[in-house]
Structure 1
């Protein structure tokens, strides 16, 4: 069975049917000698073109999400008639993540039933509608609701890694995912800078209209250039075509389960992430670690504009431009992962007599897990001591670098370790990450109000240090722990 592909409806049945398929029964599959419809056999130029297309959508999503960060207080103040609250402006930024926590629970299962192409395009259209709704909002509550809906419609986070797994073998996935991560960093850099300048001259609503225009352009490219990558959907279409052409109703794929309704399949797909989570201690621990690490982005995003405008007296445009340093630091981290992630994997695989293990993705994650809390504390004390702005911006850049090292290798590990269950496992990671991104910044805001930036962010850092040893433990004991779960027992990256 090809473990690089995402989920199957019933793995035990699929294994039994795969044996029947080997015996030459009425099953439809790709030609092992090469198949033009098999995403693994597509021309390299086209596959990397799809990576570029995924990166374009990731840029659009991040640009839309982050562009309101430097003007969040101004938006709430404008919509609520000058009565903006600090919690409302923080929630306006972080509520996106609450929507993003719910979206994957439907996006991943639907993509496993109908394929990547229809689900990605439907989600993109909903995303455009939600951005337009936010631009037309007349109250802070309506704007926050539209932001939650926009986050709900984001499909790239859960589908991009799965699509990479559809097309690339293990030793190439790290590079592909690193390039996809590059685009959000660019969006995160230019979004705040552009939005701050536009909000001061043309008004904040024009920032959202720019985002909507960008999303519409991106969706037009998706409709015309993207092809289905999900093996199950492609083979089911082939089987249906062959049944029509040959008149043989017995032709089917190894993934088809007789006597199971579509609604039952959908329910099984929706509940599968919870089953994967409950059945894998490795996923439970790493998803919590990734969630806490990711929350630092929104801690930085909600505190930096206030620090720069309140303590340093900078304008909203200047505060937005300062966020570029976070993206520059993240870009450095992506470059490191691009060069080292696959290289480390190959070296460790060769040292293990050519047998690959998903844990070979984790050495960079171990470093990032310990470094990020320390850098975040340094960021807080730099603001508390009112040190020069360049030093503060430098700590923000270092935080961006360490945060990506605390998350990007984790994504590569999940795709490798969970193989057939990668989409559901990524759903778990994304949901926990988004919940943390919504609520931990609210807690940090209260700690900062009570203790100041230095002590408040140091307390958050001490809390996250409790989870820092998790990647090191998984690196050391993961191969043994994975055997306890049926979702990872046979998932070895080759």
Structure 2
């Protein structure tokens, strides 16, 4: 299949023990597979409208998670003051925002490999339930410390960032993935715009806990829809269940020796699966470089989010409500980048594939990343100097739109690249991306706070702008040489290159 080399690329990810286990137990019934002429159990053959419904559900869950994460950004200082009896603590306010990312850096290393062993469905429902409980814990937290802990637990329980791209890869062929990936990437970010707007208005009338209860209500609705409509999408798990049904109908039995062998193989498989995200990053220099690039650029979300409230309230003198409304600029940037990606991401891929004799390569997803990476540095520097010299507010808002558009264009194609390059095991590769970028999102804002204290907003953001120029070289080099470099890793080597 020249259009989908990613399916073949997944095979090297199977360790010997896992391969033995699957061949011995999962596919023991005459090498079970989906019907080639159409199979209702094959996610690729599901009705397109149903697959679009699943994408909409995943996007709404992502919206809810981002809303929950970002809604407290403009009011974090007010929350800390309320819980501390009126005492301001800037470091605690920053920690309240960024601790989520520290938790989210831990979760993927368990969520992704477990989904490859037990399927997407059960993991998604389990983690969504945990997410609901942690929101409830946050809503009832009586102290700053407990609220920060609850935010860390929320980050750990987030499954959508890891599983959503993998689920899209399960359901769509490569030339249809660009739009679906764009939706699950961009719609959640609208939550990052709506959340601050709501919180800025509500905090002055109903209190900050109301925002958390709104998050709880939305997460409950999502969980209900998952129970009613979501289905397993992971091919390995579907075929495993199919084999077990056929075995039971044939009356096959498993003796104690076989049961012990299965238990040992399952234990080894679980251990290997949990280690797989680390092994993928260790073995593939291309993925490692792109993940480093994506993580540094992603951290700009939190750098802007943690600096913007202070800039707007202390330098421009805006109220909490007006500060929340200013976040609409981020939403406009998200919409612009979504339109650009929706129009061009798949078209660029198809065009480059045609020029390569009909063979599609993951590198064909990255031209938009290069554009975003090259337009980001001047936006970062202008943002800092706007705050330094208190330039007119419309210029600052325009810079926010420019920043968000560039960040999204630089980072969103990376998801499609990982899905294409890693195939069935894209969840493990996504786990590596999310974990590294979450660590960057947790700690780089603290570095920016120190830079701006020493160099001012203009100097501090100029330093980051120079670093952005250096990091922009990574997608350029991957587009030029990535296809060859991927062959050095068994996890990303293409059988068609």
**More RCO (CA 8 Å, sep 6+):** 2
- Matching residue within 348, 356, 372 for 1:352: 356
1:415 corresponds to: 419
Alignment partner for residue 38 of structure 1, among 42, 53, 59?
42
Instruction: List per-residue Cα deviations over 1:427-458 (Å, max 9, x = no partner).
Output: 11111100000000000011111211111111
Q: CA deviation at 1:491?
A: 6.1
Cα distance, 1:84 vs structure 2: 2.4
By how many angstroms is 1:334 displaced? 1.2
Of residues 142, 149, 159, the one that matches 2:146 is 142
Partner of 1:118: 122
Contact 2:8 2:494 in 1 (8 A): no
- Cα-to-partner distance string for 1:246-270 (whole Å, 9 max, x where unaligned): 22459xxxxxx96743222111110
In the alignment, which residue of structure 2 is the partner of 1:210? 214
- Measured after TM superposition, the shift of residue 109 of structure 1 is 1.3
Residue in 1 that maps onto 2:236: 232
The one of 93, 97, 114 aligned to 2:101: 97
User: Relative to 1, partners in 2 of residues 1:462 and 1:144: Cα closer, same or farther, differing over 3 Å?
Assistant: same
CA distance 1:103–1:91, change in 2 (3 Å):
same
How far does the alpha carbon of each residue in 1:380-400 deviate from its partner, in whole angstroms, 9 at most, with x for none? 111111111111011001111
8 Å CA contact retained: 1:5, 1:420: no
Q: Which residue number corresponds to residue 468 of structure 1? A: 472
Q: TM-score, normalized by length of structure 2?
A: 0.93
- CA-to-partner distance for each residue in 1:30-52, whole Å, 9 max, x for gaps? 11121110000101010111000
| 8 Å contact from structure 1 (residues 376, 461) kept in 2 | yes
- After superposition, the Cα gap between the structure-2 partners of 1:260 and 1:194, relative to the gap in structure 1 and judged at 3 Å, is same
Distance 1:14-1:350 versus aligned 2 partners, 3 A rule: farther
Q: Give the alignment partner of residue 56 of structure 1, picking from 55, 60, 63.
A: 60
Deviations 1:103-143 (A, max 9, x none): 10111111111111111011111111111111111111111
How far residue 18 of structure 1 moved from its aligned partner, in angstroms, is: 10
2:292 counterpart of 1:288: yes
Count of matched residue pairs: 486
What is the CA–CA distance in structure 2 between the aligned matches of 1:445 and 1:283, rounded to whole Å? 29
What is the CA–CA distance in structure 2 between the aligned matches of 1:20 and 1:211, rounded to whole Å?
45
The secondary structure found in structure 2 opposite 1:137 is: coil
Aligned-residue offset at 1:415: 0.8
State the 1:81 CA deviation. 1.8
Q: 1:154 aligns with which of 158, 169, 182?
A: 158
Secondary structure in 1 aligned to 2:492?
coil
1:232 and 1:131 map into 2 onto residues whose CA distance is: 33
Q: 1:15 to 1:141 in 2, by over 3 A?
A: closer
Q: Report if the CA contact (8 A) 1:68-1:192 is conserved.
A: yes
In 2 relative to 1, CA 127–286 (structure 1 residues): closer, same or farther, beyond 3 Å? same
Is 1:366 aligned to 2:373, yes or no?
A: no
| Counterpart check, 1:197 vs 2:231 | no
The Cα RMSD (Å) is 2.3
CA distance in 2, matches of 1:194, 1:70: 10
C-alpha deviation, 1:16, in angstroms? 9.2
**Is the 8 Å Cα contact of residues 128 and 215 (structure 1) preserved in structure 2?**
yes
Offset of residue 20 of structure 1: 11
Q: What residue is the counterpart of 1:266 in the other structure?
A: 270
Distance 1:227 1:6, change over 3 A: farther
Does 1:381 find its partner at 2:385?
Answer: yes
CA distance in structure 1 between the partners assigned to 2:15 and 2:250 by the alignment: 29
Q: How far apart are 1:11 and its partner, in Å?
A: 5.5
- Whole-angstrom distance in 2 between the partners of 1:31 and 1:213: 41
Task: Give the Å deviation of 1:418.
Answer: 1.6
Checking the alignment, whether the CA contact within 8 Å between 1:421 and 1:487 is kept in structure 2 is no
Cα 1:237–1:16 change in 2 (3 A) is: closer
Matched, 1:320 2:351: no
**Alignment partners' CA distance in 1, 2:120 and 2:429:** 17
Q: Residue 492 and residue 118 in structure 1: after superposition, are their counterparts in 2 closer, same or farther (change >3 A)? A: farther
**What residue number does 2:258 align with?**
none
The C-alpha deviation readout for 1:45-69, integer Å capped at 9, x for no partner, is 1011100000110110011011101
Cα distance in 2 between the residues matched to 1:483 and 1:199: 54
Distance, in Å, in 1 between the alignment partners of 2:21 and 2:216 is 46
2:308 counterpart of 1:304 = yes
Runs (5+) with no aligned partner, structure 1: 251-256
1:425 matched residue in structure 2: 429
Gaps of 5+ in 2: 255-260
Seen in structure 2, the aligned counterparts of structure 1 residues 462 and 453 have a Cα distance that, compared at 3 Å, is same
Q: Distance in 2 between matches of 1:105 and 1:238?
A: 28
1:384 and 1:453 in contact (8 A); partners too: yes
Per the alignment, residue 254 of structure 1 pairs with none
TM-score scaled by length of structure 1: 0.94
